[in-house]
Structure formats: C-alpha cells, structure tokens
A and B are shown apart, each in its own frame.
Chain A
Amino acid sequence: MADLKDVAVIGVGATKFGENFDWGVDDMLTMACFEAMEDAKIEPEKLEAGWIGIQYPFTGFSGATLSDAIKTYDIPITHTENYCVSGLDAFRNACLAVASEQFDMVIACGVEKITDQGGRGLPTAGFGHPVQMSGLTAPSAFGLAFPRHALAFGTTKEHLAHVAVKNHFNGAVNPKAHFRREVTLEQVMKAPIISGPLGLLDCCPISDGSAAAIITRTDIAKKYRDDYVTIKGMGFAAYTNLMMYDKNFDYLAWRPTVKAAEKAYAMAGITDPPNEVDLAECHDCFTITEILNVEDLGFCKKGDGGPATAEGRFNIDGQVAINPSGGLKCFGHPIGATGVRMVYEVTKQLQGRADGRQREGAKVGMAHNLGGLGGVVCGVVILTNEK
C-alpha cells in the first residue's frame, strides 16, 4: 500500500458556475471532466475508476450519471452523497483508492443541476424529522448561530458583511465565477433580510456547475507533469443531524469542522495553521458560516473571526487567503460540485495558474467543505506543491 501522501492531482477542470439554463447534467460533466483530462494529458481510456458527488436525486442517481456523460463504460464508478460535502467525499474516496494501489489513475468529479428543478432556494425544507419544525431552511438554520456568537464575542452584522465584500472582490476577476462583480459594505448591509441577520448578500447563490480532478500516485504523476500537487493532510467527520439533542451544543463552533481539521492537521504535521497554510477554500454558504469556520480551522482565535475578516487578515494578500476563488458566496454552490471545485481552485493556486487572483508564493492550500443544516458533516483536504 502506498501512503495518502503519495497521492497526486495531475489535472483539474470546472465549468462556469451559475444559472446554466442552456446546459444539462451531461453537458456540464463532459465539460469539466474533459477539461481535467486535457489538463492531465490523458485519454478517457486511462481511467480505471471514478467517483461522482451529487446531492439531489433530480441531478442524477448512481455512477452511470458519469459514465453516460463521458462514456467510460465498464469501470467502477461510485456516487457519493454527503450533503454539501458530496464532492469532496468523492475526491476523498478516489484518493484512498489510489493510495490502496487498487487503481493507478482515477477521476473524482461532482455536479449539480439546481435551476430547472422547479423550486426556489434549496429544496431542504418540508420533509425530515417529525418533531424538528418543518420549514427550517438553510438560511434560518445557519442564522441560528448569529445571536449566540454576537452575545459571546460581540460579532456584528457588519463583520458578516466583510466576508461577502472580500469574497466578491476575489471572485469578480474569476472567469468561471457565478457572479463577476464586487459588492460594497453598504450594499450587503442594506440587502433584503432573508432570515435574520442574514440578508440576500450574506447568502451564496443557487448555482449549476461541475468540477473534476484526475488523481494518481506521485511516481506516475512525474511522467505527466512537474507541477502536480500532493495530499499533505486529510480529515473527515460526521456529527449529527440533530445537534439540538446534544446538551453541550453551543452554536459557537461547527464541531465537524473542528474534528476534521484536527485530523487533517495531525496528518500534515501542521501546528500553527495561520502561518503554515497559505490559502483556504473555506465553506461560506452564508457569511456567518465562514466566520465560525475560520475560527474552527484555527486561522484566528475563537471569537475573532469577525474582526480578523474586517481587518483584512483573510484577504488574498492577508495572513491566510480565505476563498481566493470567490468562495461559495461569489463563485457559486452547485452542491455536489463544490468540494471538487475547491480542489480545482487550490490546485490552480499551488500551480501558480490562478490568473488574476493568484496568492503569491502559495505552497500549502486547503479545501474545507461543510455540509448539513448547522454543520453536520465536514471534510478538510490539505494540498501542497512541495515535493
């Protein structure tokens, strides 16, 4: 068996994210996967296995969603579903398979087609647990974190707004981002309220899109390119759908982020995250989500997420560049695709190919993907270009 640290990414691809009314699931998968294969300089025949992250049944079922798009018939393909972490979990399983030496060359991808599904917003509400109130949507579930964070640490709505301003600033120059425009603090503060305190511009959009990565071992990667990136750390954690039943749950941290990060940092040998990680694609479905996440990932002290963001410590040229791509907030969030899209961005950054939004001298980058209402599951993948 090889080690997880012997796993390399040699190609990445992604569609433009957004309201892709002209594209179906097959179109987007084909674009993302072939871009990744062209980037890796491989033909589809090289692929020995695949993993595809999808959350919603209306996007597609089973591994055949991928083989039907890119015609890789007869190889094993697994559909992963893990809320918003569906994509990064596809990537994780692909990496483990390569590390096990069962396969030499595999593809991990994700896709979601959310427009045209007939509803508004994410179809999360109206079903589920028989006593937890139906109708609790993603903005209202994540909005629950704010009053407690505000009381404990003095976090303000303006702190949240700084997250949106920063991520839109980064994403505005990203050709594949859902939104390609900056927003001002005033615009964010004055946007219509969806679920207090979260306004329209505190929420990520409903997007379609797909992303893909080609994964192999480092000894093989060298034959394809010099600037491949490798796994430095990886950690995943599932907590609970019903955190209200945990009497110690305090709404001040996303526990799966804390646990997944602990594992990833331990594997990577990272003890001082803000000084050892150059950039992070950090789950920012809502501005409050990023505030708690940057604290839980150890990029600042617990409670400092708001002021640290406002001071610019997480700007593209700050201590740690958080969401150089624009993040979910600006780049978009087609659920199953997002985790792989994070790997796409981190890989581009570590290869010095993130045009217009490059974190100078990036050596270590993180993909952090959180899923479920109020932080149920999480994946953290740390990549490096250091050989």
Chain B
Amino acid sequence: MADWKSEVEEVVFPGKICVPYSWTVGSTLSRWYVQLRDDGEIWANRCPSCGTVYVPPKIKCIKCYKDMNDWVKLPGTGTIETFTVVNKERPGLDPKKPPFVYAVIKMDGADTGMVHLIGGVEPEKVKVGMRVAPVLEKERDGHITDIKHFKPIA
C-alpha cells in the first residue's frame, strides 16, 4: 500500500486541537479546596456508618453510600504506601521536570491513599514506609498543587 507514494506526492495536513474546559469540583471538594487555600489545612471526612475516613474527601462513602458530613482535620503527615520515579519528560503534561516522584500517601488519621509528589529528597532515596509531611505553596489558588509536594520527615 506504500507504492502510491512513488506515483504522487503525499499531501499531509497538520492538525491542532485546543481543548480548554472547566470542571466544577462540587460541594465536598469545594469545601476541601477552600480549607487548603485559605487556611493551609488538609481535612478529611468520615463515614457515619463504617467510620472510614476519606482524603481527598468524597460526598458519599463508597461502601455504605451514606452522606459524609463529619469533617476531621488531619495533622498533614503520612506514610508512603508506594511510589514511582518518573524519568521521561512529557512536555506540557508533567507537573514538574523529571526526574520526580509520584507516591500514594496514606495520610495519618485517614484510611484512603492520596496520590501526590514527593520532594526535598533524592528520588533514589524514596522508600515504601517513609514518613512525609506536606510543603504548601505560599500563594494558593485552590488546586491540588497548592500542596507543592510531601517531604520526608524523621
């Protein structure tokens, strides 16, 4: 099927798609983001039925399907459950320049894992079970990257 190119010049159109979009995060996450932005605090919510504590919070418990209006302020510290070191750059998509570390963090006082970046440490020194604390941006705009990253603590 490649033979036709010897008979006629191949014409190729460059395409470009720009897709701006907005996303309302809803009642529960709006409350969470405002706390993070204005007070620099990380909150979680708790299921009144099974007691599972969610961070980031969810509007309903994924098991009991109960509304979760019971808010808990977390100390912010946590433990690395697992991680991966990103080495290959994807311009425009990566939150920072590789190498950088994504980790799933089990926050103290919560039951669920949260995905975030690990900083302030050489990537090769990151380990499962490492204790971490959040480093917040000074200027915050209500986004998950208001937490700059989590850094190891003793």
Contact = CB atoms under 8 A, between A and B. Distances in A.
A118 B91 CA distance: 13
A134 B93 contact: yes
Contact of A130 (B1, B5, B23, B92): B23
Question: Which label, helix, strand, loop or mixed, suits the secondary structure of the A interface?
Answer: loop
Interface in A120-152: 120-121, 125-127, 130-137, 139-141, 143-148, 151
B113 interface: yes
Given A193-B87, A196-B85, A135 B144 contact: no
B17 interface: yes
Contact of B81 (A118, A133, A136, A251): A251
B83 A147 contact: yes
Residue in B58, B82, B90, B123 with the greatest tally of chain A CB atoms within 10 Å: B82
Contacts of A22: 1-2, 5
Contacts of A131: 25, 29, 32, 56, 114, 144
Given A130-B23, A245-B112, A120 B87 contact: no
B43 to A, nearest CB: 13
A127 to B, nearest CB: 8
A246 interface: yes
Contacts of B95: 133-135
B116 interface: yes
Nearest to A244: B113
Interface string A191-232: 011111010000000000000000000000000000000000
A199 B21 CA distance: 33
A387 interface: no
Interface residues of B, number: 42
B120 interface: no
Residue in B25, B32, B93, B117 with the greatest tally of chain A CB atoms within 10 Å: B93
A196 B116 CA distance: 16
Contacts of B90: 120-121, 125, 135, 137
Contacts of B128: 147-148, 151
A141 B82 CA distance: 11
A145 B144 contact: no
A365 B105 CA distance: 40
B137 interface: no
Contact of B82 (A118, A135, A148, A247): A148
Interface in B101-125: 102, 104, 111-117, 123
A196 B98 CA distance: 11
A23 interface: yes
Residue in B29, B87, B95, B117 with the greatest tally of chain A CB atoms within 10 Å: B87
A152 to B, nearest CB: 10
Contacts of A246: 62, 112
Contacts of A68: none
Interface string B1-45: 110010000000001110001010100010010000000000000
Nearest to B105: A244
A247 B102 contact: no
B48 to A, nearest CB: 16
Contacts of B144: 130-131, 133
Given A139-B84, A193-B85, A196-B85, 14 more contacts: A22-B2, A118-B17, A130-B23, A132-B115, A133-B115, A134-B93, A135-B94, A140-B102, A144-B104, A146-B82, A148-B128, A151-B128, A193-B87, A194-B87
Interface of A: 22-23, 27, 118, 120-121, 125-127, 130-137, 139-141, 143-148, 151, 192-196, 198, 240, 244-247, 249, 251
